[in-house]
Structure 1
Amino acid sequence: MTLGAAALATAVLLTAAGCGGDKPKWYGADGKPNTETPAEAPVNVAVTAPAEGATNVPAATEIAYTTDGATSTVELTDAAGNKIDGALRADKSSWVPGKMLTWGTQYTAKITGTSASGKSESKTVTFTTMAKPGSTGKASTVIGDNQTLGVGMPIIVSFSNDIAKDQRANVQKRLFVTSNPPQEGIWYWWNNKEVHFRPKEYWQAGTTLSVRAAIGGLLMGNNRYGSQDLTINTKVGSRIIMEADNATKQMTVTKDGQLLRTIPVSFGKKATPSASGNFVIMIKNEWEWFDSASFGVPNDSADGYRTKVYYPQRITWDGEYIHSAPWSEGDQGRRNVSHGCTNISAANAQWLYGVTQIGDPVIIKGTEEHVKWQNGWTDWDITWTEYVKGSAIPYVPPAVAPSAGPSTSGSASPSASTN
């Protein structure tokens, strides 16, 4: 055994020696091992927008660049050296400043690419934003900072001017929603002036939401630019869901999956039926005047009325509410006698008012008619497959679970959602 191993080793050495006169590549010209490491390739960085020295740049500009580095950073500063924070879009197509840039101001962007081994190279561009335009528009929302929302609440952004169809994708790309925990969602163009964002499923209870309509400095059509950004930071409360069925004339109220109360109801009579569908609470007040004249029925007619109603919670624009109706308590749970609202007892109405939030889902089943699309915030009354068709940016299902960061479809921040 020992002799065989020695003979084999000798054969290997002889074979190696007989491979020809060329020295192995790892030997230098002096016949000694070469210890030099080949030069590392440069880390290429190229800025594609804005161009170096560019002027009249929109105040909503983004920094677009390419690099073959493993990582990259962007440093954006104004002429005074003040730093502007920002973030890279999830698709890495551009870097989005964290706030609107100032009109008529010079900025410098330094982009640095770094290789896996730590080698870095930078590219710098200087540009100047446009002067403030003569025509501007703004964005607004019904949602307040730090407001607690129901799990069905859509994010609603309204514009002061019409957004033409050929501008909607550009505007939508600047609408960022960031949810924690991350949840998939998308924008739906409600009309020329309003866009909604809803998640694929109800928001998870306890979700925090950061919304930025980054339209400041953005061309919105007809030579009109956004005057400023709109930002909201809010949260989602408990999962409160109300389900009412005409077959039983009962409403169940659940919180985080647990039944809180079953409430007898009276829906609209046959002449004025309640609508079935998927609603959310839009407005709630301790009391309101209900006046039939507001929808064309004189107060002094047989079906007319003017009544002070307590604890009304609105679910449609044409006047359907859940509210206190002490006059129909004997009918509740038995027969329908209302003008279209969901009547509940005074005690139940006061209790329910104390439980709900704007955006809590209301599901009504089995009545004589179905709610018309957009009669209220009916975002949940169509399927997700239908809802994504309202986006100005083609819907692409996420390859992985959504992650927090800015977005252009549905969650929020450049890496969040903007579809």
Structure 2
Amino acid sequence: MDVRRRLTLLAVTIAATPLVLGGCTAERKPAAGAAPGGTAAPTVSVTPADRAKDVPVSAEVGTTVNNGRVTSVKLTDDRGKTVVGEPREDGSSWVPAAPLGGGRTYTAEVTATGDAGRTTVGRTTFTTATNTTRQALTSVLYFAGNQTYGTAMPVTVAFEPAIPKAARAAVQRRLFVKTDPPQPGTWSWLEDGSQVYYRAPDFWRSGTTVSVRSALEGLPIGKEYVGDADRRSTSKIGRQVALDIDNATKQMSVFQDGKLVRRIPVSLGKPSTPSSSGKMVIMEKHQQTRFDTRGEPDGGYVVDVEDAQRLTWGGEFIHAAPWSEGDQGYTNVSHGCANVSSTAADWLMGVTQVGDLVTVKGTEVPLRPGNGWTAWNTSWAEFARGSALPVPPGLKPAPSTSPPHPGAVAGGSSPAPSASGG
């Protein structure tokens, strides 16, 4: 089925913003040289270059310091207004909190302080571009604000067209995630560059606040495109819920906080339309929806279903199927979905959250990367290799002090979902 047709999701449309530019200028004050006791004054260089023009509105204030550290950054516009921003964790640049204005002139003043207290100030003045002949690239942030998500919820950004390899590092540098309490992770790209995921080595802790900024507006991407928007969202992580579906037993095991709370008979995809095996994430929930498979292989039907929870872009759902209750627990008769009774489906809707992990095992076909939010369908080591930027070597899964429950795991094709199911 065509996984490039989109279905409405809890999604936030996002955009793009340019990165740090080359070139630098520095003004040292006082002059560099040996201070009493032999301590040299710090040196600082700043980007964008002084008097640079047509600077992207996504520009950051790049800082390079020797013999000291950056102690303050002040950026003002041509009307004397101070621009709000904050430094990157690695100190390589200072990031404005919003895209800069087009066709405006800005002055950055960076103060560096040495160990002996000596200071040096670097300054640069630059002008942003008024417009661009490049086409805006479409991006979508699948992490809505003011929601409560499951502990396996990845931050997902999708792109149309896909991001070429040469541009992925620049794009990734403009994607920010903060967690409270801190739980660091990394981004990982799908091989084709159409989607990138962010997660930590282990599941989010319940109660964590996750704040995301996709700061892509105006960012040059490849030769033809710029990013389309700058978006932010903040949401909470809820209780830990995981569903395990075993084709051998035709049973779904429902776990909450690691404890088995219910087993539910299921009917999975028949051999001609098998369900996928792998680690998936609940992507959306519908009390009522319609599956329209006209034009799909082995499809051709239209059916209204209740209590449906999407697992893949290709149209695999968990949903109420009163017509197959006699087969549930015994025989696979669906078109790829996990059929459950109406009573069980209604109960599940009150227990699960978007972002909960669903593990299916023992079916005829494996889950394809990118067919859904597949960030957990790989080891942490393999996931980290998908980052376009270096991953801190100390970032690894926490050691487990007890055997994981069956739903636990240790540890970015532009989604175009099919509305089919079965």
Q: With structure 2 as the length reference, what TM-score do the two structures score?
A: 0.78
Query: Is the 8 Å Cα contact of residues 241 and 352 (structure 2) preserved in structure 1?
Result: yes
Determine helix, strand or coil for the equivalent of 1:72: strand
Residue 81 (1) aligns with residue 77 (2): no
What residue number does 1:188 align with?
188
Distance 1:50-1:270 versus aligned 2 partners, 3 A rule: closer
Distance 1:347-1:294 versus aligned 2 partners, 3 A rule: farther
Residue 335 (1) aligns with residue 331 (2): yes
Query: Is the 8 Å Cα contact of residues 275 and 369 (structure 1) preserved in structure 2?
Result: yes
Measured in 2, the distance between the counterparts of 1:146 and 1:117 equals 47
Unaligned runs of 5+ in 1: 1-36, 300-304, 403-408, 410-419
Distance 1:151-1:39 versus aligned 2 partners, 3 A rule: same
Measured in 2, the distance between the counterparts of 1:264 and 1:376 equals 24
Larger radius of gyration: 1
What residue number does 1:206 align with?
207
Q: Offset of 1:146 from its aligned partner?
A: 1.3
Query: Is the 8 Å Cα contact of residues 380 and 397 (structure 2) preserved in structure 1?
Result: no
Letter in 2 for 1:60: S
Query: Is the 8 Å Cα contact of residues 313 and 321 (structure 1) preserved in structure 2?
Result: yes
Query: Is the 8 Å Cα contact of residues 76 and 82 (structure 2) preserved in structure 1?
Result: yes
Distance 1:105-1:149 versus aligned 2 partners, 3 A rule: same
Worse-superposed segment, 222-231 or 142-151: 222-231
Q: Offset of 1:83 from its aligned partner?
A: 1.4
Distance 1:49-1:324 versus aligned 2 partners, 3 A rule: same
What residue number does 1:310 align with?
306
Q: Match for 1:320 among 316, 320, 327?
A: 316
Letter in 1 for 2:244: E
Query: Is the 8 Å Cα contact of residues 43 and 113 (structure 1) preserved in structure 2?
Result: no
Residue 197 (1) aligns with residue 192 (2): no
Distance 1:393-1:288 versus aligned 2 partners, 3 A rule: same
What residue number does 1:31 align with?
none
Measured in 1, the distance between the counterparts of 2:277 and 2:89 equals 40
What residue number does 1:140 align with?
140
Cα deviations across residues 83-136 of structure 1 (Å, max 9, x unaligned)? 112222222222222221111111111111234564444232222222221334
Measured in 2, the distance between the counterparts of 1:274 and 1:335 equals 13
Unaligned runs of 5+ in 2: 1-34, 399-411, 413-422
Query: Is the 8 Å Cα contact of residues 158 and 195 (structure 1) preserved in structure 2?
Result: yes
Q: Offset of 1:347 from its aligned partner?
A: 0.9
In the TM superposition, what are the counterparts of 1:8-407 in structure 2 within 5 Å?
38=36, 41=39, 43-65=41-63, 66-69=65-68, 72-116=71-115, 118-137=117-136, 138-190=138-190, 191-297=192-298, 299=300, 305-398=301-394
Measured in 1, the distance between the counterparts of 2:349 and 2:363 equals 24
Cα deviations across residues 200-235 of structure 1 (Å, max 9, x unaligned)? 222222221111122223211224333432222222
Letter in 2 for 1:372: R
Distance 1:264-1:210 versus aligned 2 partners, 3 A rule: same
What residue number does 2:406 align with?
none
Worse-superposed segment, 100-109 or 201-210: 201-210
What residue number does 2:402 align with?
none
Q: Percent identity?
A: 43
Query: Is the 8 Å Cα contact of residues 45 and 112 (structure 1) preserved in structure 2?
Result: no
Cα deviations across residues 333-386 of structure 1 (Å, max 9, x unaligned)? 233333322111111101111222222110112223322332222221122222
Worse-superposed segment, 307-316 or 154-163: 154-163
Determine helix, strand or coil for the equivalent of 1:202: coil
Determine helix, strand or coil for the equivalent of 1:203: coil
Q: Number of aligned pairs?
A: 362
Letter in 2 for 1:84: V
Determine helix, strand or coil for the equivalent of 2:112: strand
Distance 1:257-1:283 versus aligned 2 partners, 3 A rule: same
Determine helix, strand or coil for the equivalent of 2:254: strand
Q: Offset of 1:242 from its aligned partner?
A: 0.6
What residue number does 1:15 align with?
none
Higher helix share: 1
Distance 1:269-1:58 versus aligned 2 partners, 3 A rule: closer
Determine helix, strand or coil for the equivalent of 2:167: helix
Cα deviations across residues 119-164 of structure 1 (Å, max 9, x unaligned)? 4442322222222213342532233221222222221213344432
Q: Offset of 1:298 from its aligned partner?
A: 5.9
Distance 1:298-1:237 versus aligned 2 partners, 3 A rule: closer
Worse-superposed segment, 61-70 or 210-219: 61-70
Measured in 2, the distance between the counterparts of 1:377 and 1:70 equals 40
Measured in 2, the distance between the counterparts of 1:400 and 1:196 equals 17
Letter in 1 for 2:239: S
Higher strand share: 2
Cα deviations across residues 265-285 of structure 1 (Å, max 9, x unaligned)? 222334433222111112221
Distance 1:321-1:225 versus aligned 2 partners, 3 A rule: closer
Determine helix, strand or coil for the equivalent of 2:46: strand
Measured in 1, the distance between the counterparts of 2:97 and 2:49 equals 20
Query: Is the 8 Å Cα contact of residues 113 and 122 (structure 1) preserved in structure 2?
Result: yes
Distance 1:216-1:339 versus aligned 2 partners, 3 A rule: closer
Q: With structure 1 as the length reference, what TM-score do the two structures score?
A: 0.78
